[in-house]
Amino acid sequence: MVSSYHAAPDIDVLTSNVAIPGLGLIPVNAFVLKGSEPVLVDTGTVVDSEQFMTVLRSVIDPADLKWIWLTHTDFDHIGSLHQLLAENPHLRVITTFLGVGIMGLSAPLPLDRVHLVNPGANITVGDRTLTAVKPPVFDNPCTTGFHDNTSGVLFSSDCFGALLSAVPESAAEICDEDLRDGQVFWATVDSPWLHKVDRGEFARELDGIRKMEPTMILSSHLPATPGAMTERLLSSLAAAPTARPFLGPDQAGLEQMLKEMTAGPQ
């Protein structure tokens, strides 16, 4: 079920929880950044597109949106992308050259409606300037989050996500242990390459986020997180490369799951 809440006076979160059998809940967030040129950050899951549009309409008239910031092209981020483009002919998509290329394999973006921004570059959207950021952890090569230079909020895409047993509206409500375990686990699931990275290089990447001193971190897969918790998020991620690599259930595990789904737990 898609719902919404305020993360800040000018930022709404559109969220739904995806249950991963046996593992927990992963929140899937999109954001409306309100300003003189409103920005929608990602567009929900493909399966929940209809509900997403209903909740979006309760937050903002899609005709008032000026930009979609597409952090990457995974199915939990592109759900209502083309419907929004069809409804609002003035809407433009901020992405990368690679993002356009990947979308071209299934649902091409009209090239006259994209605006390419590479990590480190800025784009001015009305009364605010956004700086594109390549987050330290990602699951898709076109991933680009951003730092809003006006509010100081970091939109981190999949980075800092966590598998949780319950999903509150603020990460401050999650106890230290659950947040750390949930984050580390998600990182091993979503970014298995983390186990192969040079630890010093990874620490420098994390330090780049530390130096930004975000006032809030808005991950696609974690409740809104106050900036005061940045160090906690960073230290969880720092532990991920040495955590046990994730290996999904095998065929016997799947058959057990199917049995439980039809007969209930034994």
Interface positions with Fe ion (CB under 5 A): 74, 76, 139, 158, 220
Please check whether residue 141 is in contact with residue 155, taking contact to mean a CB–CB distance below 8 angstroms.
Answer: no
> From the CB of 63, what's the least distance to Fe ion, in Å?
27
Count Cα neighbours of 24 within 13 Å in the Cβ-side half-sphere: 20
Of 74 and 200, CB closest to Fe ion: 74
Of 98 and 203, CB closest to Fe ion: 98
CB proximity list for 263: less than 8 A, separation 6 or greater: none
Of 32 and 78, CB closest to Fe ion: 78
Write the burial class of residue 110 (CB in 10 Å: 0-12 exposed, 13-18 middle, 19+ buried). Answer: exposed
Query: With DSSP H G I counted as helix, E B as strand and the rest as coil, what are the percentages for the chain, rounded to 5?
Result: 35, 25, 40
Of 148 and 158, CB closest to Fe ion: 158
Of 87 and 139, CB closest to Fe ion: 139
Q: How many helices (H) and strands (E) does the chain have?
A: 7, 13
Main-chain phi, psi angles of 225, to 5 degrees = -125, 120
- Indicate the residue whose CB is closest to Fe ion: 74
> From the CB of 72, what's the least distance to Fe ion, in Å?
6
> From the CB of 255, what's the least distance to Fe ion, in Å?
28
Amino acid at 28: V
